[in-house]
Amino acid sequence: MVYKGEEIFGLLKKSDPSGMGQFPPNVAQLLEIEFISYDDELLTIDARMPIKPEFNNPFHITFGGTYGMYFDMAFGPFSGLITNAATTSLDLNITYIKPLMVKDEHVYIHAIVVSQSKQYLNLRGEAKKVDGTLVATATSRMKIIDPTRLFKKMV
């Protein structure tokens, strides 16, 4: 089934076994993420975020670390939807291809599941400009956290 927009944060709230999560997280407001679609059969998610001048270097090019925030903001919720558990990034590898600038308006992130085991989730993503130009790719290995161990430590 394909879910759209705010439905996706609703699904995330339902997937939180502790009820302790914050959906959407504060960074979602900062980045102004808009989830376009989540396909639970194809295991893909699409999101877009505006390119803001406060994320620029002195030459008006988006800082490379901001790409990491864009990918992480898509990968994090996506991993929760896939696993119905808390996850944490073990690595996030980004390949930069072209710069982003405010004039590009938005960045689109498309992510897909590469593989999943009981403990790990591997994701791959692409960042594109509005016109479809590929600006970066990323991979991430996520650790699926056993909720019984997580909640014991939080109490």
Confidence at residue 86, expressed as pLDDT on a 0 to 100 scale? 86
Q: Name the strand (E) or helix (H) holding 113.
A: strand 106-116
Mean pLDDT of 90-107: 97
* pLDDT > 70 fraction of the chain, expressed in percent and rounded: 89
Residue with tokens 């901001």: 66
Confidence at residue 19, expressed as pLDDT on a 0 to 100 scale? 67
CA distance 65 to 68: 5
Per-residue pLDDT tens digits for 52-61: 999 999 999 9
Q: Which two tokens stand for residue 152?
A: 């014991």
Q: Let me know: does 93 contact 136? Beta carbons within 8 Å.
A: no
User: Among 13-17, 35-39, 63-67, which stretch is predicted with the lowest mean pLDDT?
Assistant: 13-17
- Among 12, 115, 119, 107, which Cα is nearest to 64's? 107
Confidence at residue 116, expressed as pLDDT on a 0 to 100 scale? 97
Cβ partners under 8 Å of residue 53, min gap 6: 60, 102
In this model, does residue 15 exceed pLDDT 60?
yes
CATH number at residue 68: 3.10.129.10
Number of domains in the chain: 1
Q: What domain range is 26 assigned to?
A: 2-154
